[in-house]
Structure 1
Amino acid sequence: MSLIVSLVLPVAGLLAGCNGDKSGDSGGVDDDSGDTGVTAVDPNHDDLSMPAEPTLDPDSFTSAAECADCHPDHYAQWSRSMHAYAMVDPVYQALVGIRQADLDGTQDQFCTQCHSAIGTRGGEIVPGFSFEDLSPIVMEGITCEACHKVARIDRVYNSGHVLDPEGPIRGPLTDPEPSSFHNAAGMEYSDIFESAEFCGACHDVVEISGLPLERPYEEWTTSPGRDEGQTCQTCHMPESSGYAATDTSTVRTLHDHSFVGVDVPLLGGWATPDEVEQIRARIEELLATAATVSLSLPDQVVAGEQLDVVVDIRNDISAHNLPTGSTFLRQVWLEVIATDALGTRLYATGDLDANGDLRDYWSSLDQYGDDDLISLSSGFIDAHGQPTLFSHLATEHTSHALSPLYERTYTLFVPTEGAAPGPITVSARLRLRPFPPYLLRLLELDELIDKLEIYDLDAVVGEVSVVPSE
């Protein structure tokens, strides 16, 4: 079986991934192994986000639990968000542990500079640190004042925000009302809270080697969404009307603090089953308009001859790539299955092995068993030219993502030998999974695998009549 791929829009840059190049071109996405214009930071410290000596006192920050007294709705949203989950996430902790072991703790601040800026700048993240030894405010992760004490953005990557723990509470309200709780430091309007730069300061990540890892902000800067006035907050902090605090009668424009993306908490007890279902429903709502899959089939095929199946995938997101963020962890792939009139499978790509993994390099049961696999995810290559899961070992980062509003066309060849009389049914769906099962097994987190969700971004079904050969 073979595969032909073409792009609807011509773009520059040929990508090759660990599974071989099936894209023919990048769909507007550049290979991340090239020059980024970003100078690699000192592996041991960075004056802004990974200081060698503490630059603030963690005790000067207020716990989110205290904010809940006046802002119960904001707190309830945040408390089940990935921001609150940032330091307790078992997957994150396991990945940090591998980096610690590989590098003898010399780069322990790299991941925590965003996951807990307070702890990293406050001197608690020392070489060989243990999560069990960190203070409660540090384990709150991206807590309220980790954002609302930001004075300015000095760079739009790697925790590029300047924290001002003794300064006022800052936010997007132009006319904040006086509050006895905030009187000591005061409150102040800041336009950075409505900017994409505010989010990009942490969500764009460059490895210590200089290799770009996550680039949603960089993608946004050249996107149609930016031209339309969209920011990260437009989708990930949607607006509503209500009261910003319990002690006010002023109706405000509020922003949701659930920060919905594609993740649900996997840690047992972190959220109730009902809360997890609510998060999943929000994710499905967010993804409902993310992509379109189109299927082009002939009206008929002669029995025994090859059936050409043409599939188009379009990224309907106007502000960033599909996928974006931690694309080296995210799985986005196309499943195409063809069956005859009796339900016998004639062809499949994008199906899963018995472990629930794609049949690619990382499958322990059927490595490279899916020659036609169409994946939009990215992958790391190490100095020996081998795939790796870990960014600190990577020298290349190759992406197959679709740029905003781009479309890519794939042609698949389905054999029809032995097909039963009657129509052939072809189904295609674009699927997304936050983590692959093989990663959780590698991290010895097998018990979390059953909690992984697969989301279908779009699906389509078509039929082809089979006519007898002459």
Structure 2
Amino acid sequence: MKTLRTILTLIPLACGGGGSPSGPDELLSDELSMPREPTVALDGFASAEQCGLCHEAHYLEWSTSGHAYAMIDPVFRAFVAVRQEHYGGKQDMFCLQCHSPIGTRGGDIVPGFDFADLQPITLEGVTCESCHKVASLARPYNSGHVLDPDGPMRGTIAEPIISAAHESQFSPLHGAASFCAGCHDLREVSGLVLERPYGEWQGSPAAAAGVQCQGCHMPSYEGPAVVGGPTRRLHRHTWIGAGIPLLEGFLTAEEKASLRAEVKRLLASAARVDITADTSVRAGDVVDLFVAVTNNIAAHNFPTGSTFNRQAWVEVVVRDSDGRIVFATGTLDAGGEPSGSSLAAPGAPELLRLGSILVDERGEPVLFPWRAAEHVSNALGPLRERVFRLRVPTGRAARGPLSAEARILFRAFSPTALRALGLDEYAAGLEIHEVSRDRIRVELRPP
């Protein structure tokens, strides 16, 4: 387990959790989202497939989304297994309350549960009625939604059709950024803030302009909300983010290709890199490269979410006119990790990393979020810029001119983390997304 403990903080922790600090033998609970006794009945909720009989378009969109993937993601399941081991099942509801709010509140998630024993509605993850049966928001973090299984289906259509299938009601909450905060802002059991895209949004230019999360992640289009119904302004239920499901069979080849194109488009607009330097230097001198990274997102940081787990960095490679590498940082080592990172070989050039780290009371990096005392971030705020300086010796160059290229790269998981979790087959297929690139030329004058 030592290797596993060394890298677990690289694994995305997309889960909620309320309650208060507890000892290893005390059951972690929260009256709202992790009740000791069920507060809703599992059979009081309709399956997504049943909803899809009338809402075909939205069902098909949801079925390819991260919400539908929430409970079958192999990385998530492996992570849950580690937390089960560490706490003997006493904190089994912590991550599940956001990944399956119906199952957690409905009593299907109990200490020591097994995924194989869960009911179908629990395994649907963030299913239709996980959102559309929300009556209010008790807190903007840690599964803060108040479920109303006996109430109407709530959404953003101002004048819903009267239907025999169910009662419908307009809900301004469902069109507000705070609705997303209910699960996407995360605090550990200790109270430490781990993820805060909503908190970032609150002070952002997007919030000042009235642009909500749904404006980007649920883009609108015209179509019928129900089969045979009138054309309305709808919102796409795919919630495109920066990840592509690793589990084979979840998406068809066509669906995966479409998602990959959407993720590429999203990331290509997320940030920009610009590299500058003197246009010429004497051979043998040091070139000062200035690498500026700009967050183009008006609504939240780059990166956002579980920034202490995701990998976002700048690769810089300088070559002479013969194509030989004079200087490099951020290129991949034999293990597939960016050189210069804590997982790369000692002595590598400094890695230009964007993200955050978790540290304990002594300021030392910790391995699990529940062990952390502080969350230290260098993620870029909305529309903010940061400039890195690299000093590049030219003595190794055979001849000029030099070509310097910088690329912002992003990856949802660390391959080292996946291999340590026993998920080697997924480590090999991890995708690195190029967010932006820039290149300059530096002439070498005679010494």
TM > 0.5 fold call: yes
Q: Which residue of 1 aligns with 2:417?
A: 439
**Take 2:282 and 2:376, find their aligned partners in 1: how far apart are those partners?**
40
Query: How is 1:99-118 mapped onto 2 (pairs within 5 angstroms)?
Result: 99-118=83-102
Query: CA shift at 1:449, angstroms?
Result: 1.4
Q: Which residue of 2 aligns with 1:306?
A: 286
Confirm or deny that 1:332 pairs with 2:315: no
**Percent of paired sites with the same residue:** 48
Q: Which residue of 2 aligns with 1:255?
A: 235
Secondary structure at the counterpart of residue 83 of structure 1: helix
Confirm or deny that 1:358 pairs with 2:338: yes
1:381 equivalent among 344, 359, 368: 359
C-alpha contact (below 8 Å) 1:377/1:400 kept by paired residues: yes
1:341 equivalent among 298, 313, 321: 321
Query: CA shift at 1:194, angstroms?
Result: 0.5
TM-score under structure 1 length normalisation: 0.88
Secondary structure at the counterpart of residue 84 of structure 1: helix
1:73 equivalent among 57, 66, 69: 57
Query: CA shift at 1:456, angstroms?
Result: 1.1
Q: Which residue of 2 aligns with 1:370?
A: 348
Q: Which residue of 1 aligns with 2:141?
A: 157
**Take 1:226 and 1:442, find their aligned partners in 2: how far apart are those partners?**
40
Which amino acid letter does the alignment assign opposite residue 402 of structure 2? I
**Take 2:119 and 2:366, find their aligned partners in 1: how far apart are those partners?**
33
**Take 1:114 and 1:39, find their aligned partners in 2: how far apart are those partners?**
11
Query: CA shift at 1:379, angstroms?
Result: 1.8
Structure 1, unpaired ranges of 5+: 1-17, 19-37
**Take 2:114 and 2:395, find their aligned partners in 1: how far apart are those partners?**
59
Q: Which residue of 2 aligns with 1:429?
A: 407
CA RMSD of aligned residues (A): 1.6
Confirm or deny that 1:292 pairs with 2:272: yes
Q: Which residue of 1 aligns with 2:197?
A: 216
Q: Which residue of 1 aligns with 2:80?
A: 96
Structure 2, unpaired ranges of 5+: 1-5, 7-16, 23-27
Q: Which residue of 2 aligns with 1:412?
A: 390
C-alpha contact (below 8 Å) 1:359/1:369 kept by paired residues: no
Secondary structure at the counterpart of residue 451 of structure 1: coil
Secondary structure at the counterpart of residue 125 of structure 1: coil
C-alpha contact (below 8 Å) 2:291/2:387 kept by paired residues: yes
Query: CA shift at 1:400, angstroms?
Result: 1.3
**Take 1:90 and 1:413, find their aligned partners in 2: how far apart are those partners?**
42
Secondary structure at the counterpart of residue 69 of structure 2: coil
**Take 1:278 and 1:450, find their aligned partners in 2: how far apart are those partners?**
21
CA separation of 1:368/1:77 partners in 2, compared to 1, >3 Å: closer, same or farther?
farther
C-alpha contact (below 8 Å) 1:50/1:109 kept by paired residues: yes
Which amino acid letter does the alignment assign opposite residue 197 of structure 1? S
C-alpha contact (below 8 Å) 1:159/1:202 kept by paired residues: yes
Query: CA shift at 1:396, angstroms?
Result: 2.4
1:41 equivalent among 17, 20, 35: 20
Query: How is 1:171-250 mapped onto 2 (pairs within 5 angstroms)?
Result: 171-182=155-166, 186-248=167-229, 250=230
Which amino acid letter does the alignment assign opposite residue 116 of structure 2? E
Which amino acid letter does the alignment assign opposite residue 306 of structure 1? V
Which amino acid letter does the alignment assign opposite residue 332 of structure 1? A
CA separation of 1:451/1:264 partners in 2, compared to 1, >3 Å: closer, same or farther?
same
Query: How is 1:394-413 mapped onto 2 (pairs within 5 angstroms)?
Result: 394-413=372-391
C-alpha contact (below 8 Å) 2:173/2:179 kept by paired residues: yes
Secondary structure at the counterpart of residue 66 of structure 2: coil
Query: CA shift at 1:385, angstroms?
Result: 4.9
Query: CA shift at 1:297, angstroms?
Result: 1.5
Query: CA shift at 1:387, angstroms?
Result: 2.9
Query: CA shift at 1:346, angstroms?
Result: 0.5
Query: CA shift at 1:383, angstroms?
Result: 5.5
Secondary structure at the counterpart of residue 96 of structure 1: helix
Deviations 1:289-310 (A, max 9, x none): 1111111121101000001101
Deviations 1:30-72 (A, max 9, x none): xxxxxxxx99635411111111111001111100001111111
**Take 1:451 and 1:246, find their aligned partners in 2: how far apart are those partners?**
38
Higher relative contact order (CA 8 A, sep 6+): 1
C-alpha contact (below 8 Å) 1:328/1:389 kept by paired residues: no
Q: Which residue of 1 aligns with 2:103?
A: 119
Which amino acid letter does the alignment assign opposite residue 226 of structure 1? A
C-alpha contact (below 8 Å) 1:301/1:466 kept by paired residues: yes
Q: Which residue of 1 aligns with 2:43?
A: 59
**Take 1:412 and 1:252, find their aligned partners in 2: how far apart are those partners?**
53
